[in-house]
Structure 1
Amino acid sequence: MTFHQATNKDIQALLDLSLRGYATIRELGINFAAATADEQLVDKNINENICFYMKDGDEMVATASIRMPWSSHHGPYEIPHIWWVAVAPEYKRKGYASKLLDFIENDYLKDTLHCPSVSLGTAKEHPWLADMYVKRGYEKVGESDLGKGHVTIYLEKLLLAKTYKKR
């Protein structure tokens, strides 16, 4: 498995992976931007955020992005915010999302950028995502109705205990 930072040459492949990976989200009626993305939104994500993807051999199998506190579409707190996590349907339940999140949380955010913590959000109405993130070490820190037809639960994970400053 290899990890890559996306560039404009990856737009079409990321769009395809995202739309296929978010099919169940659309079926649940949850309005995540990535679930109905188009080329313009993928381009914006790549150029305004830090977008990674994972390959197994030659196949792009998963993607996730990080919105930074200074970006135009930052997270709710002054820390990096993970979003747009998607796995190609034929590769689900094989641990690819966990491997990609491990890379982002540990190798990139903790070891490279020395970030003390990271946040992410998910729909309260989703039947298992919040629980999955809690099992990964995230703690629920808030929720908000952003007017998208669902309540967003915000979660945070401590990455560097000795540099962490409680809000």
Structure 2
Amino acid sequence: MTFHFRQATVNDAKALQEILVKAYAENGKLGIKFDAVNADIEMTTRHLQNNMCFFMEYEGNVVATISLRMPWSPNPGPEKVPHIGWFATDPDSGQKGLGSKLLTWLEEDVLKKQLRTPFVTLGTADKHPWLIQMYERKGYQVFGQKDLGKGHITIYMKKEFNLED
């Protein structure tokens, strides 16, 4: 199975919005108020204008997406490094492991090789039943938390990279 990875543009706002609505629906049912839960076209367009967003495609269809909020963007992460956000896989794709493939590609090809960042951060909800443990299995470590007024505590995690590889 061959996947194609590419950076999304503002012309991809509709495709981004569609995958976010489907993928984040379960979070909404859990009462987790990630911004992507209620993403509309205006919000996704603004997101694409202010962040690096990537698509993983299979046979011309977007099956997963992930974004990087940069330190100089209007909504930077907690550290002066890229911050992962709006990470979603299409639940209708019927394929397992898509998120892991996309995250590995982002870490290896974008963060380590292109941006040469020493580490990356992300934030997730303390109330989510499995995300913290999933990220820990992938080498991320908790380094802080903050109440952002969204009805949950945001748990900040980071993964350090050995740039000598």
Normalised by the shorter chain, which TM-score bucket?
over 0.9
Once the two structures are superposed, the pairs formed by residues 16-165 of structure 1 within 5 Å of their partners are 16-91=18-93, 94-160=96-162
Match of 1:11 in 2: 13
Q: Which TM-score applies when normalising by structure 1?
A: 0.94
> Displacement of 1:57 after TM fit?
1.2
How many equivalent residue pairs? 162
RMSD: 1.2
CA contact (8 A) 1:142 1:154 kept: yes
Q: Which runs of 5+ in 1 are unaligned?
A: 163-167
Instruction: Write the deviation string for residues 127-154 of structure 1: whole angstroms up to 9, x where unpaired.
Output: 0000000000000000111111000000
Ranges of 4+ aligned residues in structure 1 off by more than 3 Å: none
Instruction: Write the deviation string for residues 46-75 of structure 1: whole angstroms up to 9, x where unpaired.
Output: 111000010011211000100001111000
Q: 1:119 to 1:5 in 2, by over 3 A?
A: same
Q: 1:113 to 1:127 in 2, by over 3 A?
A: same
Q: Which runs of 5+ in 2 are unaligned?
A: none
Q: Which TM-score applies when normalising by structure 2?
A: 0.95
Secondary structure at the aligned position of 2:32 is classed as coil
Look up the equivalent residue of 2:92 and give its one-letter code. E
Instruction: Write the deviation string for residues 57-103 of structure 1: whole angstroms up to 9, x where unpaired.
Output: 12110001000011110001111100000111123661111111111
Q: Output the CA distance in 2 between the equivalents of 1:92 and 1:76.
A: 34
Overall identity of the aligned pairs, in %: 45
